[in-house]
Amino acid sequence: MIQRIAIVGTGLIGASVGLALKAGGFTGHIAGWDASATELAEALRAGAIDEALPSRDAVLNAKADVYVLATPVLPILDWMQALAPVLGEAQLVTDVGSTKLAICEQAARLYNLPGAATFLPGHPMAGKESGGAALAEATLFNGATWLFTPVSDEPHPYEAEWRARVAGFGAVVRDLDPEPHDEVCAWVSHLPQMLSTALAALLQDTFSSDADAMAAVQAIGGRGLRETTRLGSSPYSMWRDVAMTNTKPIAETLLALEQRLAHIRENLRTPELREEFATANQFRAKR
């Protein structure tokens, strides 16, 4: 049984993991650390963690059974490197990073070797457009898909329990290889993010010099505008690492969308527009 968990990065996702673990009946000890003292204090105040680790060294010495890396992707890669030499094969490290290929490649080099800890790459498809422990919820993962992209054939003794706890969060657990993971996520997550950022940035640049026009845009825009620009609130700090570690798939989906928009633009007055709406209707009918 898992007794001690360390959550590295107690922002929205990390703190929600802590709250969900407790809501799901985990009675062991949860330690937490965050690069921001504010986030860490908020996670402790919210009861997402039992103990705030005071330093990076304290994380390395936390002697947890399971480490949950819940920072953006590049710091996850850094923590994987820092933790590998100090952990042993009794310990399981998992993460919640948005891209998996770079993490899995590094896991294959540093983990799952004789005497080394096991790494189980994970990715909950949940979040909010704004981050922070203050927005954390025990129910954040309820109904969401939680992907794993295993790199080891031999399951670690804690793996089955961790998967069961994640399922206990209300998440639908699904396994995928890292490469298709990053490609599918480019389509269903990274492309919607980039187009929402593009639309919001375009509207800002087009209207921000004219206060009356911006007021009209904000007043007139309805639910459609709110929803298509909502992800425009997302923080660069997280998405920089996604763009850095999944550049090619994201670039490919962006190019495909640019071409599709051009096709619609060239066919606003032709029956081809009917085909586009019919095809889009088909996609939505499956949901």
Footprint of its own copies on 155-184 (CB under 8 A): 172, 174, 176, 180, 184
Of residues 123-142, those binding its own copies (CB under 8 A): 125-127, 129
Q: Which stretch binds its own copies (CB under 8 A): 83-91, 102-110, 114-122, 233-241?
A: 233-241
Out of 21, 156, 196, 241, name the contact with its own copies by CB under 8 A: 196
Give CA–CA dist 141/49, Å, rounded.
17
SS3 101: helix
Work out how close the CB of 282 gets to its own copies at its nearest, in angstroms, rounded to a whole number.
5
Task: Name the residue nearer to its own copies (CB basis): 113 or 202.
Answer: 202
Cβ-contact 5, 48 below 8 angstroms: no
CA-based R_g, the chain, Å:
21
Task: Name the residue nearer to its own copies (CB basis): 35 or 261.
Answer: 261
Q: Tell me the β-bridge partners of 123.
A: 147
Q: Tell me the β-bridge partners of 5.
A: 30, 66
Q: Is 224 in the site for its own copies (CB under 8 A)?
A: yes
Of residues 249-278, those binding its own copies (CB under 8 A): 250-251, 254-258, 260-265, 268-269, 273-274, 276-278
Cα 157 vs. chain centroid, distance in angstroms? Answer: 25
Cβ-contact 68, 14 below 8 angstroms: yes
Work out how close the CB of 77 gets to its own copies at its nearest, in angstroms, rounded to a whole number.
16
Work out how close the CB of 134 gets to its own copies at its nearest, in angstroms, rounded to a whole number.
17
Q: Which stretch binds its own copies (CB under 8 A): 12-20, 23-31, 88-96, 204-212?
A: 204-212
Backbone φ and ψ for 173, nearest 5 degrees, come out as: -85, 135
Q: Tell me the β-bridge partners of 102.
A: none
Cβ-contact 203, 229 below 8 angstroms: yes
| Count of residues touching its own copies (by CB under 8 A) | 90
Q: Is 86 in the site for its own copies (CB under 8 A)?
A: no
Work out how close the CB of 221 gets to its own copies at its nearest, in angstroms, rounded to a whole number.
4
Work out how close the CB of 156 gets to its own copies at its nearest, in angstroms, rounded to a whole number.
25
Work out how close the CB of 190 gets to its own copies at its nearest, in angstroms, rounded to a whole number.
10
Task: Name the residue nearer to its own copies (CB basis): 54 or 221.
Answer: 221
Give CA–CA dist 106/77, Å, rounded.
7
Q: Is 38 in the site for its own copies (CB under 8 A)?
A: no
Helix (H) or strand (E) holding 215: helix 211-220
Q: Is 145 in the site for its own copies (CB under 8 A)?
A: yes
Cβ-contact 70, 7 below 8 angstroms: yes
Cβ-contact 193, 234 below 8 angstroms: yes
Out of 147, 151, 166, 171, name the contact with its own copies by CB under 8 A: 147
Strands 66-69 and 92-95: parallel
Q: Is 191 in the site for its own copies (CB under 8 A)?
A: yes
